Structure 1
Amino acid sequence: MAKIGNIDLGDFPLLLAPMEDVSDPPFRAVCKEGGADLMYTEFISSEGLIRDAVKSRQKLDIFEYERPIGIQLFGGDIGNMVQSAEIAAAVNPDLIDINYGCPVKAVACKGAGAALLQDIPKMVKMTEEIVKCTSLPVTVKTRLGWDDNSKNIVEVAERLQDIGIKALTVHGRTRVQMYKGSADWTLIARIKENPRMHIPIFGNGDIDSPQKALEYKNKYGVDGIMIGRAAIGYPWIFNEVKQYLKHGERPLPPDVAERIRVTKKHLDFSIRWKGDRLGIFEMRRHYTNYFKGMPDFKPYRTRLVEADNESEVNTILDEVSEKYAGIMVPTER
């Protein structure tokens, strides 16, 4: 049974990764329906929260049906991170998560995200101060190390546990790898095998099918799995994994009618949360993934990304429903 503080997540929870410009409330809504057990906000800049930046503040929006939900923060200054954790705690999430894994230059070059993998004492001190400042459970998401010569995650996991974090998620790549190559879960398994470790350890990286989820569960012994890119346009993956783990069978993939229903739900929430213009614009990145594998879909995709109002998008989606009625979409993504 995986527990983060007093939060009971069940036997083998599936977590939605905190993806920038993806894991917003509209996307989280369809992933929650799709079976995600624990979700996180997009990562939020500590400096942005302190400056009261509109975009950063908006990312604090959470809803009761999302629970349990964690707010993820990143930053390079300990004082600012503590202050931002206090701001985040005020909106009453279930936990605070610290990002020590984001590899992009805009974050790492400011001494935040994966940059802390080059300064473990500072990482530990920052985490300790955040743990002290809030009564909420504090968790961490990080990577194996900065590069192949500094894969120190087994030691880091012990030190973070010792100063009070309640769970650890590890992406099986170094910062230098970015998102290239294959994720290496062997060090994640070594954390789990360490008799000193007693907090939940979640694995992240390359989980894109129920079969792989079961394989990695059995092979690496993690307490749960975090799913990121595989959920984009396919929020059904969480329930598919659950059914496969329980029964050894993968359910039929969602048919066209189900894909359109969820796309419309996502679009409607996107518009209600962001407004007409931005809600329409930011949904455009999702259409290719929602309809991946459908034959000769390119003309519809082009029309969907060019549509500038909800009525027009829904009209196109209704055409898609009629055009592809009864067609089975391939399972492989």
Structure 2
Amino acid sequence: MLRIGSLQLDGPLVMAPMAGTTNLPFRIIARKCGASLVMTEMVSAKGLVLRHKKTLDFLASDLDERPLGVQIFGSDPAVMAEAAAMAEESGADLIDINMGCPVRKVLKTGAGGSLMRDPHLVEKIVSRIRRSCALPLTAKVRTGFSPQEDSFADVLRALEAGGADAVTVHARYVLQGFSGLADWTRIAQAKSTVTMPVIGNGDVTGSIMAADMMNSTGCDGVMIGRAAASNPWVFSALDPFNTSSCDISAAERRRAVIYEHCILLKKYMDSRRVGFFMRGVLLRYTKGLTASTAFRNSISSLKTPEELMEAADRYLSSLKGAN
């Protein structure tokens, strides 16, 4: 089993932090579906330190999702350290540093993927957080900023020297964004560069692929992101949420998780935005299913949770006769 510092996980599959997706309701769903660790959306360290309400809201948590990692982003060691301490005080189980975000407005601040250019600053940030926070500390990195600016090995060594407990490697350069194929050989390179646990990330869409990544790279765990957004059962060893077919039991599973997810949205999210989030859930969970295009079009004008749930129930019931 995967161990990160003092945190013993019950499996090797970890949920990736995803902006706009990994809110509290989704994290509870992912944990129940088998993720051994869930992550918040990336949280601005500066926003936390300045006590911005919308930023502080990212720290809201529930026992049903534990263990929980809080991912912070920034470039000022002192601010990052204070933000990590605030996350620890809020009840987080782990702190993760975002070092791979390719979004331009984040890069312009020197945060996210820009940190892949500066191993010295990386070590300063990690060591400063390490002094202010006792929680397990990880970082999510890319394989370099670009092929021309590849400081991957130096960044890995800086993380370990600063006191990080593990590293997650998204096997693409920052400037690739999500284009091209993930280069899993770079995950293997990380394993040969540092002694701390290495978690692989990139293009894993199922539990079989996760096992392939672990076997081919020697990584200690696998982080899954985009595939989990529409298929939280990706964390299950059996991966029963298979969108290539839909028998009665699969339809029932979908109905059950959609219903639970919507209940969680109503419980935890701003009531004025529940319909918005619920529509997103339905769009993700029905992607690729029989006649899903017509269903997805039909809910575009629906606004209330009740209307959306009624439409979802009718659609999922219809799948029974289509298979």
Q: Distance in 1 between matches of 2:20 and 2:241?
A: 29
Give the TM-score normalised by structure 2.
0.93
Return the offset for 1:30: 1.1
In structure 1, stretches of 5+ residues that fail to align are 244-249, 329-333
Match of 1:184 in 2: 183
Does structure 1 residue 217 correspond to structure 2 residue 218? no
Q: Within the alignment, does 1:3 sit opposite 2:18 as a pair?
A: no
Distance, in Å, in 1 between the alignment partners of 2:322 and 2:165 is 46
Q: Which residue of 2 aligns with 1:202?
A: 199
Residue 231 (structure 2) aligned to one of 201, 216, 234: 234
SS of 2:200 mapped into structure 1: strand
Equivalent positions of 1:11-160 (< 5 A) are 13-160=12-159
Percent of aligned positions with the same letter in both sequences? 34
CA contact (8 A) 1:154 1:187 kept: no
| Structure-to-structure mapping, 1:207-286, within 5 angstroms | 207-239=204-236, 242-243=237-238, 251=240, 253=242, 255-286=250-281
- Counterpart AA for 2:91: N
Going by fraction, where is helix more abundant, 1 or 2? 2
Write the letter of the residue equivalent to 2:164: I
Larger mean CA deviation between 267-276 and 117-126 belongs to: 267-276
The 3 A distance-change label for structure 1 pair 5 and 42 is same
Q: 1:252 to 1:174 in 2, by over 3 A?
A: closer
Cα shift readout 1:187-213 (whole Å, capped 9, x = no counterpart)? 21012124xx33210001100123322
Say if 2:118 and 2:155, in contact at 8 Å, map to a contact too. no
1:305 is matched with which residue?
Answer: 300
Q: Distance in 2 between matches of 1:219 and 1:257?
A: 35
Q: Distance in 1 between matches of 2:209 and 2:287?
A: 20
Q: Residue type matched to 1:227 in 2?
A: I
Pairwise CA RMSD of aligned residues? 1.7
TM-score by length of 1: 0.90
Deviation, 1:327, is: 4.1
Structure 2 counterpart SS, 1:293: coil
Residue 13 of structure 2 contacts residue 224 of structure 2 at CA under 8 Å; is this kept in 1? yes
Deviations 1:141-199 (A, max 9, x none): 111110012222223212211221111001001111011000112121012124xx332
Distance 2:241 2:105 in 1: 41
Q: Which whole-Å deviations, capped at 9, do the CAs of 1:68-125 have from their partners, x for residues lacking one?
A: 1111100122221122112111112111111111110121111111111122211111
Q: Which runs of no fewer than 5 residues in structure 2 stay unpaired?
A: 243-248
Distance 1:154 1:106, change over 3 A: same
Q: Quick one: distance in 2 between partners of 1:108 and 1:305?
A: 34
Aligned equivalents of 2:256 and 2:113: distance in 1? Answer: 38
CA offset at residue 258 of structure 1?
Answer: 1.3
Checking the alignment, whether the CA contact within 8 Å between 1:271 and 1:278 is kept in structure 2 is no
Q: Partner of 2:173 in structure 1? A: 174
Amino acid at match of 2:56: R
CA contact (8 A) 2:120 2:158 kept: no
Distance 1:317 1:286 in 2: 11
Q: Do the aligned partners of 1:257 and 1:325 also contact (CA within 8 Å) in 2?
A: no
**Secondary structure in 2 matching 1:325:** helix
Whether contact under 8 Å (1:233, 1:287) holds in the other structure is no
